[in-house]
Structure 1
Amino acid sequence: MAKLLMAVIVAAAIYVGVSDTFEQDEPVVVIHNSEYWNLKDPLSIQINDQSGMLSYRVILKTQKENFELAQEMLVTPNKELKLNIKPPKRLFGLKEHDVTLYIEAGDASQWNFFKGNRAVVTKKMIIDKKRPQVSVIANSRSITQGGSALVIFKASDDNLNSLYLESSNGKKFYPQTYLKDGYYASLVAWPVREKNFRMHIIAKDLAGNLTKKYVPFYLNNKTYRTSKITLKDRFLDGKIAELAEEFVETQGVTDRIKRFKIINEDVRAKNETLIHNITSKVPEEIVERLQITPFYPLKNGKKVASFGDHRYYYYQNKRVSESYHLGLDLASVQMGEIKTRNPGKVVFSGDNGLYGNMPVIHLGMGLYTLYGHCSSVDVNVDEEVSAGMKIANTGMSGYAMGDHLHFGVLVQGTEVRPEEWMDKQWIRLNIEDIFKSAQKVIDRS
């Protein structure tokens, strides 16, 4: 009898130890919100328990009073609860900023003399209902499709979390602090392929309050050249076959049109992705202004291909591929000297597929210059270059049929019209004068 009783006790102990009915773990409470709350977005709370939840209570505590946000007694135990609690209207007039979120949860376990397990979680929170303040101080009067502009603005918030400019196609441009804290400057760009354009400054604080400020530009739509290019067998079996030997993407591809299409589209996209990644970076230091001398990289350089040219390729009267020419092609003498007119820092120097030997230089504020198809390059990554310094020689490397320079200008990873940055009057009206105007406003403040 004693042995039987002992066996029963042992079995009961084992059952209590392994059964969910007698589990001993407290409910797990997770608050997904940050410590800041704007009283607009719901509180996101998750509660998990092995035996299942039977009750929970959510209270917002201030120094003067408590606000019950949610409370429920469950008929059937629930192992996972996901709560999205909207703030009650009576909280909107709350003037206190420092509060405590109190969550109490009880499970269905028979442990603790059938009282179950109970969890209490508290979190200090800051109530922030105020949106960031944003105002445009100065900006370029107009922007041209495929072109650039400058925006200088003021933004303030005690809990500012993110700040950027966003175009209507979703491209984000990140500003630098201008002159002193609270003031910002950014170059922006209208992509050549986008017919429509709008720009907003987006400021968001830690509580999720958001301000969207429109930047007023006069928009100049521009019609770029469209070219119809007929592919010749000599070209496909010559230059394209030669390039195909270099690229992994075309190994084993014998069909001449398929091979051209891979090079013109897939390899080009890969090369452009590298360029966009390199040129999307913006310094974090304070900027005072951007002093730019008009670009003139090649002495006596003659334009042989335009920026923005939309090229359609045909073979036997059938369209087989297309691409955009996102730079300005200049030619002078064979292996002509390429010189930079502005100081900067080399951020890339090497081969980039269709672009051949290609140095890229950062001039400040996310403004970059690119030099493609070089026969030789004289500069290395991280090297500082000075105005008038020879950096390379023109050539035929990459996808080039004759000795020339492919000159590209990019603003935070977006190709823009080099002609603007080669025009002294455009630079004065759209860059220099904007900085001067903004500085006058800031000096008076």
Structure 2
Amino acid sequence: MTDAAPRLTRAAMLRAGTSLPVPPVRIVHLGIGGFHRAHQAWFTARAAGGERWGIAAFTGRSAGVAESLEPQDGLYTLVERGAETDRFEVIGSIAEVHEASSPRFDELVAAPQTAVITLTVTEAGYHLDAAGALDLADPDIAHDVDAIRRGGASLRTPIARLTRALRLRHDNGAGPVAVVSCDNLPRNDRVVEDAVARFAAACEWDAAPWQVSFVATSVDRITPRTTPADTREVEQETGWHDEGVVVTEPFADWTLSGAFPAGRPRWESAGARFVADIEPYERRKLLVLNGGHLVLAFGGLLRGHATVADAMRDPACRDALDRFWEAAAVAVGAEIETADYRRALTERFENARIAHHLSQIAVDTATKLRLRIVPVLSAALADGRDPDAALDVLRDWAACLRSGLIEPGRAPEELRTDLIAGLEAGLAATVVTAVEPTLHPIALAEEST
């Protein structure tokens, strides 16, 4: 921190002539990171009447965000990085920020004034088994079930924290609440509802009467990691020293489907979309955008590129992306358009001022491939079309693993199980055969049935 630039706080802003009062907490968020601050917190800050909907945010894997934002009263600068210029905005919707283990989480979830609970814990944070259900054999889940049975307070997983807090809310008679997953999982509402029910049952609780509505969402806003250069730029341009800077693209999309029995912010006034059927929007986003990112990540890393924009300038990567998008459009189906969506994505991916690193995309890759690439492969095989556009993504993934360009993250057998989880035997065999020549040294290509 420099002497010339004061730390960003509500009191400092008031002294400078700008009032950002602390909003009353009515939303609890678990898993605060850059994406939550660029997306749900931003939508809430911009919603009509949003000043009445404060967020109490809790960290996920690391306490770092809490350590950065707590001294700033939850304030942070959002930088919208367009193709030519930047826009700076101080976001004031986060009223409190705490570490995940804070007892304040239970207290606020159980409070009658809390109407919405949102989650961004990543796909891996749900601890799902091969069938897509909560894995009760997972060591961290098993630890948390045992801790609750023994009356312990230290929990490791988001689902355990959420379930325990929802039970406390029920016991306190605090009324209905909506739980909104903002993670890239198909039908994330059903995933969370089932996970809560399974965890509760393992603890010998009945979650059926808990008055919880689970809301499905599709979320979209490219948010790369903040760099020291971004923090310096904010200080130079705004005059504030800010340890919580978030950089994102101008585009933002949020599609929701479900009931909010205790009320919600008017997110639609900030551009959110409420629909009766989430699945077409979800499918388009997962296969076209997220699948496209994987195409560029693996192919781009193999060709020596660092960012999405770098890969978009490589004709070979662009050709692979276009071929995959053609196949993905068929898999998405005709009930929702993809042509305009792809044109907009092309412009977004080409924004060289958004340094979306391929290494940031290429994590938890087996799970992502199963959800975002394998459905495109399956649709091509079912229709008798050429499957190579999707198979090439699997092959590039395998090549990246073998060459050390990405970290496996888990044991080979766990990667294999995750990659083919829930697939019928013929499709599983096709997937394993595609990666076998390159991945055999890490024993991924075993008998698939």
Task: Report if TM-score (shorter chain) is over 0.5.
Answer: no
Quick check: which has more Rg, 1 or 2? 1
TM-score computed with the length of structure 1 as normaliser:
0.23
Kindly indicate which of the two structures has a greater share of residues assigned to strand: 1
Kindly indicate which of the two structures has a greater share of residues assigned to helix: 2
TM-score computed with the length of structure 2 as normaliser:
0.23
Greater relative CO, 1 or 2 (CA 8 Å, sep 6+): 2
